Amino acid sequence: MLRTSRVLLSRVTSPLQGSGAQGPILRFDGEAFRLKKTRELVRALLVLRLCAWPPLVTYGLTLLSWSQRLLGSRLSGALLRASVYGQFVAGETAAEVQGSVQRLQGLRLRPLLAVPTEEEPGTRRGGEAWYEENLDAMLHCVDLSCGPPGSPPPRPALMQLKVTALTSARLCRELSLRLQEPGTAGELRPERLATAMERGQDLSISSLSPEQNQHLRASLNRFHRIAQYARAQGVRLLVDAEYTFLNPALSLFVAALAVRWNCPEEADGDGAPWVWNTYQAYLQDTYERLHGAAEAAERAGLAFGVKLVRGAYLETERALAQQSGAADPTQPNYEATSRSYSRCLELMLGHVCRRGSRCQLMVASHNEESVRQAVKRMSDLGIPPDGAVCFGQLLGMCDHVSLALGWLLHLQVYSLWFSGGGHSLPASSGPGE
């Protein structure tokens, strides 16, 4: 198995070290499946057929609810583990997740542990206790990201989280609105939030209620604690994108974290960023926002980390825009989204070429052409593999590409649930890359 893996890897390694007239050639063919067991291939085919069945896609949650009622939670859970969860989820316990991680590392794939918890807009949680429990689980995930006790930690170690697991979606929406107002926007400078975050200052935003200000201070404290612990353990944090109307606030929090943790004082040997943001190419303004953020980070002397995805929430974004009478923020079609992804990819590769390890990029895509473009341009620009550019995909989503990329790739893995601080985390899928 490992011998075959090395054969596949050589197809990537050699072209990236030198290219001919046509540039490097990256092949995705059936040879990758020789690394999979027969039962794994059968399950993958079954899941593919199920996910292509429109009624299941449309009424999946309803069917799951009826399955639990008719079959009971134990039998229903067993069917899920044998099919969908078995394909896409790393395990139910910390031990199972670590076992999956070790198998991935045996194939020279790097794990990216993702904490899928988020707060849907309009829902009400159990106060600060819910967010504190999520923080405890994230701290535990940082430890898991370092690998089993006694083993050398993966380099680089990465972990993904969602902001609305640590602060309310309602506050994020309020802040996103306030950022559009010139007066309030001055109060919401990333530098001001970073100072309050680190020193525990009694920050107060004039346009927020006393309860909102109190929640903001508690949220900033949680952001600081997870970033501080991750930095101490050598784990870089990738902040996931969420709904468009929340993203301005999410970017504000990431910018505040970047002021504190992506500064030269916190740089390690290669000066790489400790906090990364996610950009969704299916939004019409992504290129402009990404260009502005990259330029701002360079002017401020900060390291800059980006996970570039195509995006998720497409139908919801369009429905919300229609309901509110606003313009649709998404690209008109798949082809436009792909062009946007390609432009953003070229932009970021240019920054990586110029800034080196101070600017880092994860090409999070299951699209073969996007991966080929990235690999070819890395070769054209002289960007070495295993450096400032890596690739990211969901576990079990695109094996023929993942296995061919090998050690250039981070696989995003979830646990079905695991004990952390006395509670459990459900599995979920992140933005569709």
Domain range list for the chain? 90-413
Per residue of the chain (433 residues), give pLDDT as tens: 222 233 333 334 433 444 444 555 677 777 777 778 899 889 999 999 988 999 988 888 898 899 899 999 889 888 888 888 888 888 878 788 878 878 887 777 888 888 888 888 877 777 899 999 999 999 998 988 887 676 666 677 899 999 999 999 999 999 999 998 887 888 999 999 999 998 877 889 999 999 999 999 999 999 999 999 999 999 999 999 999 999 999 999 999 999 999 999 998 878 999 999 999 999 999 999 999 999 999 999 999 999 999 998 888 999 999 998 999 999 999 999 999 999 999 999 999 999 999 999 999 999 999 999 999 999 999 998 877 999 999 888 888 888 888 766 777 876 543 333 333 333 333 333 4
Q: What is the pLDDT of residue 153?
A: 63
The pLDDT score that the predictor gives to residue 172 is 96
- Which token pair is 284? 């019409």
Distances (CA, A) of 222 to 196, 216, 293: 12, 10, 24
For residue 157, the number of C-alpha atoms closer than 13 Å in the C-beta half-sphere is 19
Residues 6+ apart with CB under 8 A from 281: 308, 309, 310, 311, 331, 337, 340, 341, 344
Cα(328)–Cα(319) distance, rounded to whole angstroms?
A: 9
Q: Which two tokens stand for residue 127?
A: 């106060």
Indicate the helix (H) or strand (E) that contains 363.
strand 359-364
Would you say 401 and 384 are in contact if contact means Cβ atoms under 8 Å apart? no
In this prediction the pTM is: 0.88
One-letter amino acid of 182: P
- DSSP 3-state of 34: helix
Instruction: Please tell me the class of the 90-413 domain.
Output: alpha beta
In this structure, what is the dihedral angle of CA atoms 79, 83, 84, 87, given to the nearest 10 degrees?
140
Residue 183 pLDDT: 79
Instruction: Compute the distance between CA of residue 422 and CA of residue 172 in angstroms, rounded to an integer.
Output: 27
Interstrand relation of 275-280 and 235-239 (parallel, antiparallel or unpaired): parallel
